[in-house]
Amino acid sequence: MTGPAGGSGGQPVGQVWVVGLGPGASEWRTPEVDSILRRASDLVGYQTYLDMVAPGPAGQRRHASDNREEAARAAAALDLAAAGRTVAVVSSGDPGVFAMAAAVMEQLARDDAPPGWAAVEVTVTPGITAAQGAAARAGAPLGHDFAVVSLSDNLKPWATVERRLDAAAGADFVLALYNPVSRHRPWQLGRALDIISGHRDDSTPVVVGRDVGRPAEEVGIVALGELDQARVDMRTVLVIGSSTTAMIERPGHPRQVYTPRSYPAR
Amino acid sequence: MTGPAGGSGGQPVGQVWVVGLGPGASEWRTPEVDSILRRASDLVGYQTYLDMVAPGPAGQRRHASDNREEAARAAAALDLAAAGRTVAVVSSGDPGVFAMAAAVMEQLARDDAPPGWAAVEVTVTPGITAAQGAAARAGAPLGHDFAVVSLSDNLKPWATVERRLDAAAGADFVLALYNPVSRHRPWQLGRALDIISGHRDDSTPVVVGRDVGRPAEEVGIVALGELDQARVDMRTVLVIGSSTTAMIERPGHPRQVYTPRSYPAR
């Protein structure tokens, strides 16, 4: 009988690394990720992200897929590794935050996972996620307790999103909102802002970060009551302040925003 | 009259960069941070963090201070920049997350800020924060909505911490807990775990990450009901799962943990 473990007489068993490119700029990509991208025999990912990776060594193979096929992509990466390849699954941002790391783990955890996957080592590496990039460009809005919520209800009930927004806004967390809008989810952002506005003044600073770390980057700071939803799209991340988040306006400088480290006693 | 802006006849005005080294490992430090550390005329920071930075160019000055003197350190950096220096304020992790970026912004926003600071440009750069490093080592526990809370009540009322923990745990967020314990805050972690346990099964996976990204790194995954508080110290970050966070146990591999991308309808 041939065991599934590498080195015990079975076929060679490879490796899956799940990596994140960061928001886009190579100056925000970790050396560990660059090293893995140079070493991997195969890159698996959404075409747009693979296009952000410089050509690798001769023979390195690229497997591009549609952005929606995360489960299939994760399974394909595990299949390649089970056949002895060393595979980088390429996300943007931090692969652990609303990205491919959970998709790969979900495959690993399947009751009907193929026996060949049993010996594959899966390693996740961290990256800069969009909210961190947007926050840095704007100052320090995440300087105090914060919550990170995806507004996508593709995989969770909208009622869960509402419950979380209400709880986090009610407890005065700063809120980072991912996936605020898509073509198929046009009304969710408005509803989310209504819930948050029930707990916040209209003057609350909001960071609107679009294409952060990419050539088309736009980062604005506006008051919650003046946020133009038409300027928010699927490439936008929002950071909505707590009751203590404040703007800094200095002549000759772009507006900045921060959440103080201290919180007043009631 | 001499205006405060650089280049308008006043004295030369410098720059403050607020940078984060990441959790420790140089492979998780961004190229942008390395570049700034090589260019800065002055490094300002807690001694322990400055010790993690390789020697810079000849003439680069280092200003080390005690970890508690964040406000004074931020003001000193702005003073140096107002005198024409290019100053890197050095944090660990992401300087925007419970670190120096907010401390610098607080100084900038002071009503009695020295006039010389008015022209200083302050730029924040993102970094990998401890929770991301611990999460990556353990799998993908931050794959779904999560909240980040500092348990320190040095600068905020403990009641605020309790309110936030209760709200976030009640809305089934994954929780990343920073500053869980210190010599002067011995009981807060136990109280926090009591609150969270009111919303979670004892079997909920918890990632215990200590010195993540450093030579002494230890990352464990335990059930909430079996968490040994004696193993948690000020260099530990905790990631406590939601109701859907699951462990993966595979023979021959370390335990891993993930939070699925999908959330069940009730």
Residues of chain B contacting residue A124, judged by C-beta atoms under 8 Å apart: 135-137, 139-140
3-state helix, strand, coil in chain A (%, to 5): 30, 25, 45
C-alpha B95/C-alpha A23 separation (Å) is: 17
Among the partner residues A30, A70, A168, nearest to B30 by beta-carbon distance? A30
Per-residue pLDDT tens digits for B200-234: 999 999 999 999 999 999 999 999 999 999 999 99
Instruction: Look at residue B206 in the predicted model and tell me its pLDDT.
Output: 98
Residue A95 is assigned to a structural domain of this protein: yes
Same domain, B136 and B194: yes
Instruction: Look at residue A13 in the predicted model and tell me its pLDDT.
Output: 80
Same domain, B97 and B160: no
B223 in contact with chain A, both atoms CB, cutoff 8 A: no
Give A67 to chain B, closest Cα distance, Å: 15
CB A237 within 8 A of CB A245: no
**CB within 8 Å: A262 and B155:** yes
Residues of chain B contacting residue A29, judged by C-beta atoms under 8 Å apart: 30-31
Between A92-101, A209-218, B7-16, the lowest mean confidence (pLDDT) is in B7-16
Among the partner residues B126, B148, B173, nearest to A133 by beta-carbon distance? B126
**CB within 8 Å: B263 and A156:** yes
Residues of chain B contacting residue A266, judged by C-beta atoms under 8 Å apart: 157, 159
Antiparallel, parallel or unpaired: β A86-91 and B146-150: unpaired
Residues of chain B contacting residue A261, judged by C-beta atoms under 8 Å apart: 70, 98, 102-103, 106, 155
Per-residue pLDDT tens digits for B187-197: 999 999 999 99
Residue B4 is assigned to a structural domain of this protein: no
Same domain, A189 and A227: yes
Per-residue pLDDT tens digits for A14-38: 999 999 999 988 999 999 999 999 9
Antiparallel, parallel or unpaired: β B205-210 and B218-223: antiparallel
Among the partner residues B25, B29, B258, nearest to A105 by beta-carbon distance? B258
**Taking 60 as the threshold, does the pLDDT of residue A6 lie above it?**
no
CB B15 within 8 A of CB B87: yes
Pick the last residue of a domain from B91, B124, B157.
B124
Q: What is the predicted ipTM? A: 0.95
**Taking 70 as the threshold, does the pLDDT of residue A55 lie above it?**
yes
C-alpha B108/C-alpha B71 separation (Å) is: 11
Same domain, B228 and B149: yes
Instruction: Look at residue B65 in the predicted model and tell me its pLDDT.
Output: 87
Give B120 to chain A, closest Cα distance, Å: 9
Residue in chain B nearest A246 by alpha carbon: B109
**CB within 8 Å: B96 and A142:** yes
Residue B263 is assigned to a structural domain of this protein: no
Give B135 to chain A, closest Cα distance, Å: 7
Domain that holds residue B82: 15-124
**Which residues touch A201 (CB under 8 Å, ≥6 apart)?**
A224, A225, A243
**CB within 8 Å: A94 and B132:** yes
**CB within 8 Å: A30 and B28:** yes
CB B43 within 8 A of CB B33: no
Residues of chain A contacting residue B149, judged by C-beta atoms under 8 Å apart: 145
Q: Which of B123, B128, B165, B199 to mutate to test the interface with A (most CBs of A within 10 A)?
A: B128
Residues of chain B contacting residue A99, judged by C-beta atoms under 8 Å apart: 143
Instruction: Look at residue B2 in the predicted model and tell me its pLDDT.
Output: 33
At A7 the three-state DSSP class reads coil
Cα of first residue to Cα of last residue in chain A, in angstroms, is 68
The mean pLDDT value of chain A amounts to: 94
At A90 the three-state DSSP class reads strand
Instruction: Look at residue A10 in the predicted model and tell me its pLDDT.
Output: 54
In the Cβ-directed half-sphere of A19, how many Cα atoms lie within 13 Å? 32
**CB within 8 Å: B96 and A263:** no
Residues of chain A contacting residue B119, judged by C-beta atoms under 8 Å apart: 252
Amino acid at B86: T
**CB within 8 Å: A94 and B32:** no
Same domain, B137 and B45: no
A173 in contact with chain B, both atoms CB, cutoff 8 A: yes
Length of chain A: 266
Residue A265 is assigned to a structural domain of this protein: no
The mean pLDDT value of chain B amounts to: 94
Among the partner residues A108, A137, A168, nearest to B147 by beta-carbon distance? A168
- With pLDDT > 70 as the criterion, what percentage of chain A qualifies? 95
**Taking 50 as the threshold, does the pLDDT of residue B121 lie above it?**
yes
Same domain, B40 and B97: yes
Among the partner residues A98, A119, A126, nearest to B128 by beta-carbon distance? A126
**Taking 60 as the threshold, does the pLDDT of residue B258 lie above it?**
yes
Residue in chain A nearest B145 by alpha carbon: A149
Count the domains in chain B: 2
* pTM across the whole model: 0.95
Q: Which of A178, A152, A172 is nearest to A239 (CA)?
A: A178
Pick the last residue of a domain from B109, B124, B139.
B124
Residue B142 is assigned to a structural domain of this protein: yes
Among the partner residues A135, A155, A248, nearest to B261 by beta-carbon distance? A155
Same domain, B115 and B143: no
Pick the last residue of a domain from A124, A152, A179.
A124
C-alpha A46/C-alpha A44 separation (Å) is: 7
CATH (domain of B186): 3.30.950.10
**Taking 80 as the threshold, does the pLDDT of residue A161 lie above it?**
yes
Residue A7 is assigned to a structural domain of this protein: no
Per-residue pLDDT tens digits for A215-246: 999 999 999 999 999 999 999 999 999 999 99
CATH (domain of A32): 3.40.1010.10
Average pLDDT over residues B245-250: 96
**Which residues touch B221 (CB under 8 Å, ≥6 apart)?**
B138, B205, B206, B207, B208, B247, B255, B256, B257
**Taking 70 as the threshold, does the pLDDT of residue A5 lie above it?**
no
Same domain, A57 and A148: no
A 128-147 → B contacts, CB under 8 A:
128-129, 132-133, 135-137, 139-147
For residue B12, what pLDDT band results from cuts at 50, 70 and 90? low
Instruction: Look at residue A150 in the predicted model and tell me its pLDDT.
Output: 98
CB B126 within 8 A of CB A132: yes
**CB within 8 Å: A164 and B173:** yes
Same domain, A172 and A54: no
Instruction: Look at residue B10 in the predicted model and tell me its pLDDT.
Output: 54
Per-residue pLDDT tens digits for A66-85: 767 899 999 999 999 999 99
Residue A102 is assigned to a structural domain of this protein: yes
For residue B13, what pLDDT band results from cuts at 50, 70 and 90? confident
Same domain, A134 and A120: no
- H or E segment and range at residue B210: strand B205-210
Same domain, B120 and B143: no
Residue in chain A nearest B104 by alpha carbon: A140
**CB within 8 Å: A145 and B166:** no
Residues of chain B contacting residue A163, judged by C-beta atoms under 8 Å apart: 171
C-alpha A101/C-alpha B161 separation (Å) is: 30
Please, which residues bridge with residue B221 across strands?
B207
Residue A252 is assigned to a structural domain of this protein: yes
- H or E segment and range at residue B38: helix B31-39
B 89-108 → A contacts, CB under 8 A:
94-99, 101-106, 108
Per-residue pLDDT tens digits for B26-76: 999 999 999 999 999 999 999 999 999 999 999 999 999 876 789 999 999
Among the partner residues A31, A70, A140, nearest to B105 by beta-carbon distance? A140
Per-residue pLDDT tens digits for B133-191: 999 999 999 999 999 999 999 999 999 999 999 999 999 999 999 999 999 999 999 99
**Taking 80 as the threshold, does the pLDDT of residue B9 lie above it?**
no
Same domain, B140 and B247: yes
Q: Which residue has the higher pLDDT, B6 or A118?
A: A118
